[in-house]
Chains A and B, each alone.
Chain A
Amino acid sequence: MQTLNIKIGGQAGQGLVSIGTILIRAATQEGWHLFAHQDYESRIRGGHNFIQIRLADRPVASWENDLDVLVALDEATITRELGEVKPGGVVIYDPDVLGQDAKTLVEKPNCIGLPFARIAEELGQPKIMANSVAAGAVWALLSEEIAVLHETLALMFAEKGEAIVQGNQSVASAGFARVRELTRERAVPAKPQGSEPRLVLRGNDALPLGALAAGVKFMSAYPMTPSTGVTEFISEHGRIARVIMEQAEDEIAAINMAIGASFAGVRAMTATSGGGFALMTEALSFAGSAEIPIVVIDAMRPGPSTGLPTRTEQGDLRCAVAMSFGDFPRAVLAPGDVEEAFYLMAHAFNLAEEYQMPVVVLSDQHLADSYVTVPPFDLSRIEIKRGRVVSCAEAGPDYLRYRCTDDGISPRLYPGFGDGLVVTAGDEHGEDGHLIEDAETRRRMMEKRMAKQRLVEENALDPVLCGADEPELMLIGFGSTKGAVAEAVEILNSQGCRAQGVHLPQVFPLPKSLAALLQKPARKFIVEANYSGQLEDLIASRFAWKPDGSIRRYDGRPMNAKFILDRLPGGVCHGS
């Protein structure tokens, strides 16, 4: 695989995202596959942020440490990140922002000083076009032709008018020309094969897109990083998609509003992160008791408390599985990449409605904010299953919301859609929904609701496998570690180690089929981004099983193949 890693570092507010977006779009247009992750601080201006783009000649799902190109918009990028550049890698920095110490560091042949803002100004363009200068400079290391970059700029700035498009193109050409001139003897990578259309998007695009495809009609949320992207996406596209996204006064209101809408008969959701998710505790239990479908996206960030607001972790798993009081059925899904995120949202709504229960979809900052190229989504794969709903005609005046059935699923009626009255309560209730106190009804209702949990378990999503079929080493993970695990497995296999990756898109209830995998005579490691081993606990308590080892990351940074491989004990594989 041919790959190329580009990191752009700078302060918040300096236009990192613009440069990143220009390059991501242009590289995709050129035929590259890519994975790009973002690292930013919890502030609006200043600090040190970066976006790191990995280009490859085939699909990639994770990031690499060593850099081919480092673009420094600030001094910290040089002082902190210079060491990550590979031998032969190129550094492009803005000399106007470097202090004396940093200037000494870049006195090397592979470092190119380019005053981005000054170049833009010299060409009579506003300072802000420094971003396009930088993009042009990087492009010179990727291609001999600037045409595709120009096309991308034209598309991106079309709305702002021809003058802005031309300004950006001219400054990009200047950045491009300077770097080409200085790196003439350096070969640009071969243009990747294939130019089939692709989508380039983040988890925070794919999740709401999946929800829209699934027919979500109502969302309410209260902003909290890193889930806010989902909320803003639905807000922005609400009018085209005919969906209401109503900002709530807090997360308690958000989930209860969504529950109200769902009760009335529409697909409804909310999105939040750690602290906000915790505030939804009581409502989750209500939805369980009242048997009202609801989908909650929890985009995880490192806790405890407000923790590291803009970083990544998988520390809410235990919470998602166990949060709230009393026993009630639920499911917890954990998409591992952008494609899975899209398709699993539809599944989440189906589960919520078929079993009339809360469904939690776990995302995290790494999935939420990382761009990846994927084949266009296949909308014919989206099936909308609204579960057992009685039609107006069937719903006679003797309709019972909680009618006891063999499988515990009572047909829903949307209020106002028939003569029957829909009576729903979170307090214990009888089949008619009115409040009860007697032991016998309580026992029956408890059993009716929990019967659904068994069905959810029987239909749980199977683990997604990659690598060797008869492994000697198994890496088990969930959520956004999927790409890192898959790449580690691939590297191990290329080194002669029969490794297999096991990704769990559903973490609760765990699929029974996992039991057979755990029986395989391989050494098994659990890979997860939290301190205490929450996935390990979950699997251990469900299957009375212990792994051979665990690989955990809890510094708020995303997992990748190197992180995993560095932590596998030596000699773990006979083949290697």
Chain B
Amino acid sequence: MAVDQRFEVRQETAWCPGCGNFGIVRAVAKALNGLGLDPSQVLFVSGIGQAGKLPHYVSGNVLNTLHGRTLPTATGAKLANGDLTVIAVGGDGDGYAEGGNHFLHAIRKNVNITYIVHDNQVFGLTKGQASPRSDPGMVTGTTPLGVYNEPFNPLATAMTLNAGFVARGYAGDQEHLARIIQAAIQHEGFALVDVLQPCVTFNRINTYQWYRDRVYDLDQEEAYDRTDRQAAWKKSWEWGERIPIGIFYQVKRPTLADHYSDILDVPLVRQELDPGAVEEILSEFRIG
């Protein structure tokens, strides 16, 4: 796949040795190299957490914002310059806890960005507390008796809101993940890629071995129809003996930019600024 090598992965990182994030960042670079994009045309917007550091470790423009605010920030940047390929990146805490409300509404807006969530089912950077994705029973720093909240299902939630592209990857399968990320970038509209990411330090349950025993590719399912929302939604609840990865659901919907197409015929950032342009509006207030 990768012919181009313009997207490089930095060697030195602040991640733990063996972290699932390495698989994700390599898959991201692979996907982008495969698409033949130039790093100057790509903008990574990320939040805070170990996941949020990814943009610092791969070529591209970076807007590393606050914890949980990844999606609104990315939405603004994309609306201002639709020529940029915008990839939002964050952890499961960032996206599903602190930024949960933004997650719902970014999907509703259907802004044309790709959202990669490093789903390690734990708050990594703050050293191992429960996340909305932690499995019930998991003992963490804040849940000494085990996690008792119902886990958040990002895929089902996204489909409920009729997200146009809903996928799950696995950090341990870079080739597959890179393919999914490419498809997500090529999808016009909001594309969710939730990535199962082993956390070698704080998550002793959902390990590489644990995933290896369970993960299977949806594409190997005969007659899986990724345009059937009901079936896809049902599939998103499969979590246990077998865990599906791949593109669960894909459908084309008008994007946020389509709504503003008459304003966005030229990207906002390339439009002239002219005070004289308000003359017409001022005339509404003029008397005499």
Do residues B80 and A416 form an inter-chain contact, with CB atoms below 8 A?
no
> Is the CB–CB distance between B65 and A433 below 8 Å?
no
Is the CB of B263 closer than 8 A to any CB of chain A? yes
CB of A212 within 8 A of CB of B281, answer yes
**Given A195-B288, A197-B287 in contact, is the A379-B279 Cβ separation under 8 Å?**
yes
In the complex, what distance in Å separates the CA atom of A267 from the CA atom of B272? 11
- Measured CA separation A426–B69 after assembly (Å): 12
Chain A proximity mask over B90-112: 1 for CB below 8 Å, otherwise 0 = 00000000000110110001000
Tell me the complex Cα distance, A346–B72, Å.
25
Whether B63 sits at the interface, judged by CB under 8 Å, is: yes
Bound complex: CA of A217 vs CA of B82, how far in Å? 14
Asked if A421 contacts B60 (CB within 8 A), the reply is: yes
A209 sits at the interface (CB 8 A): yes
Instruction: Enumerate A264-304 residues with CB–CB distance to B below 8 Å.
Output: 264-268, 282-283, 286, 290
CB atoms of B281 and A237 under 8 A apart: yes
Decide: A217 and B286 in contact? CB cutoff 8 A. Answer: no
**Residue B83 at the chain A interface, CB threshold 8 Å:** yes
A504 CB-CB contact with B under 8 Å: no
Cβ distance A212 to chain B, nearest Cβ, rounded Å: 5
Q: Report if B145 contacts A (CB, 8 A).
A: no
**Does chain B have a CB within 8 A of A213?**
yes
B64 an interface residue at 8 Å Cβ cutoff?
yes
Encode B108-122 as 1/0 by CB contact (under 8 A) with A: 010000000000000
State whether B101 touches A253 (Cβ < 8 A): yes
Q: Is the CB of B271 within 8 A of A286?
A: no
C-alpha spacing A420/B269, complex, angstroms: 17
Q: Quick one: which of B62, B69, B264, B281 contacts A240, CB cutoff 8 A?
A: B281
Interfacial residues of chain A within 229-285, with CB under 8 A of chain B in the complex: 237-244, 246, 248-250, 252-254, 256-268, 282-283
Residues in B neighbouring A238, C-beta threshold 8 A: 263
Contact between B73 and A257 (Cβ–Cβ < 8 Å)? yes
Does B285 sit at the interface, judged by CB under 8 A?
yes
| Min CB–CB distance B288 → chain A (angstroms) | 4
Does B39 lie within 8 Å of A249, measured CB to CB? no
Among B39, B81, B262, which residue has the most Cβ atoms of chain A within 10 A? B81
Determine chain A's interface SS by DSSP, over half rule.
Answer: mixed
State which of B66, B71, B280, B287 has its C-beta within 8 Å of the C-beta of A199: B287
A352-399 interface with B by 8 A CB criterion: 376-377, 379-380, 382, 384
Contact between A256 and B65, CB atoms less than 8 A apart: yes
Q: When chains A and B are docked, how far (Å) is the Cα of A257 from the Cα of B106?
A: 11
For residue A527, CB closer than 8 A to chain B, the reply is: no
Taking CB atoms, residues of chain B closer than 8 Å to A218 are 76, 79-80, 268
Question: In the docked arrangement, what's the CA distance between A414 and B41, Å?
Answer: 11
Residues of B within 8 A of A205 (CB): 285
**Does B240 belong to the interface (CB within 8 Å)?**
no
What residues of B have a CB within 8 angstroms of the CB of A380 in the complex? 275
Does the CB pair A377–B282 fall under 8 Å?
yes
Please tell me if A341 contacts chain B, counting CB pairs below 8 Å: no
**Contact at B285–A199, with CB atoms within 8 Å?**
yes
Chain A minimum-CB-distance residue to B274: A215
Collect the chain B residues with CB atoms within 8 Å of residue A31's CB: 288
By a CB distance below 8 angstroms, the chain B residues around A196 are 288
Q: Determine if B69 and A283 form an interchain contact, defined as CB atoms under 8 angstroms apart.
A: yes
User: B254-288: contact bitstring with A at CB < 8 Å (1 yes, 0 no)?
Assistant: 00100010111000110101111111111001111
A220 at interface by CB-CB < 8 Å:
yes
Contacts of B56 in A (CB 8 A): 423, 425, 434-435
User: Would you call A376 and B282 a contact (CB within 8 A)?
Assistant: yes
**How many whole Å from A409's CB to the nearest CB in chain B?**
19
| B84: A residues at CB distance < 8 A | 264, 415-416
B39 and chain A: residue at smallest CB distance: A421
Across-interface contacts of B271 in A (CB, < 8 A): 217, 242
Q: Which of B61, B65, B288 contacts A416 (CB 8 A)?
A: B61
**Which of the listed residues B62, B74, B278, B282 has the most CB atoms from chain A within 10 Å of its own CB?**
B278
Say yes or no for A510: interface residue by CB 8 A criterion.
Answer: no
Nearest CB of chain B from residue A320's CB, rounded to whole Å: 20
Residues in chain B within 8 A of chain A (CB atoms): 14, 39-41, 43, 45, 48, 53, 55-56, 59-66, 69, 71-81, 83-84, 101-102, 104-105, 109, 256, 260, 262-264, 268-269, 271, 273-282, 285-288
A-B contact pairs, 25 of them (CB 8 A): A28-B287, A31-B288, A197-B286, A198-B286, A217-B271, A244-B260, A248-B72, A248-B105, A252-B72, A256-B73, A259-B65, A260-B75, A260-B80, A261-B77, A262-B76, A264-B81, A266-B81, A377-B282, A384-B273, A416-B83, A420-B40, A423-B56, A423-B64, A426-B65, A433-B62
Residues of A within 8 A of B (CB): 25, 28-29, 31, 195-201, 205, 209, 212-215, 217-218, 220, 237-244, 246, 248-250, 252-254, 256-268, 282-283, 286, 290, 346, 376-377, 379-380, 382, 384, 414-416, 418-427, 433-435
